[in-house]
Chains A and B, each alone.
Chain A
Amino acid sequence: QKEVEQDPGPLSVPEGAIVSLNCTYSNSAFQYFMWYRQYSRKGPELLMYTYSSGNKEDGRFTAQVDKSSKYISLFIRDSQPSDSATYLCGPAGGLVFGAGTILRVKS
């Protein structure tokens, strides 16, 4: 079992939809979690850095951590074509990332 798992997608949604991206992890020692957005031929860009359980909101983005089920989510409200990218999750300090979920937002 990989330490971090993501559904690779692609996930296709119409513009304006609410998007839910998910990761599961295996090591319960992880405390902080990161979400990155990666455009084609670019490096990952930090979107959210969140601690332990609960929600963190930043504009259209909400990160949610459920430590009991080792499940982390990223919600994108009012999705835009510019959100089309690969989304990576990973625990801070774990030096591991999921394989990424490809998101396509259609105008």
Chain B
Amino acid sequence: GAGVSQSPRYKVAKRGQDVALRCDPISGHVSLFWYQQALGQGPEFLTYFQNEAQLDKSGLPSDRFFAERPEGSVSTLKIQRTQQEDSAVYLCASSLGGSDQPQHFGDGTRLSIL
């Protein structure tokens, strides 16, 4: 596709459930990033892939958060045993080269934990 695609756009889950968020980057983009954005805040870095290698996961808030990009294209962010503080917008971005290249964002998945 022309841009970064994320699905679902909205997700409501009960506390304790597991959720999976999907990101389709721009075709040919090497790098993929996940961010968490709380209301009124800028995106907070979660993790970064270059092709299928996860180069940085220092932003993942706990071991309940897990991301993968097994074939170097589509990525999935999984959150296990969700908690209310996980409610946020999860943004995915991709770039043609490394992390110093311009990043192109999807419209995010808005996650609400009840």
Contacts and interface: CB of A to CB of B under 8 A. Distances in A.
12 contacts: A34-B103, A42-B107, A43-B105, A43-B106, A44-B91, A46-B102, A46-B104, A92-B101, A95-B33, A96-B42, A96-B45, A99-B40
A104 to B, nearest CB: 15
B102 A8 contact: no
Nearest to B92: A43
Interface of B: 4, 33, 40-43, 45, 48, 56, 59, 91, 93, 98-108, 110
Contacts of B100: 31-32, 92-93
Interface SS of A by simple majority = loop
B23 to A, nearest CB: 11
Contacts of A90: 42
Contacts of B45: 95-96
Interface residues of A, number: 24
Contacts, number: 54
A49 interface: yes
A95 B56 contact: yes
Nearest to B107: A43
A99 B42 contact: yes
A31 B91 CA distance: 24
A20 B99 CA distance: 27
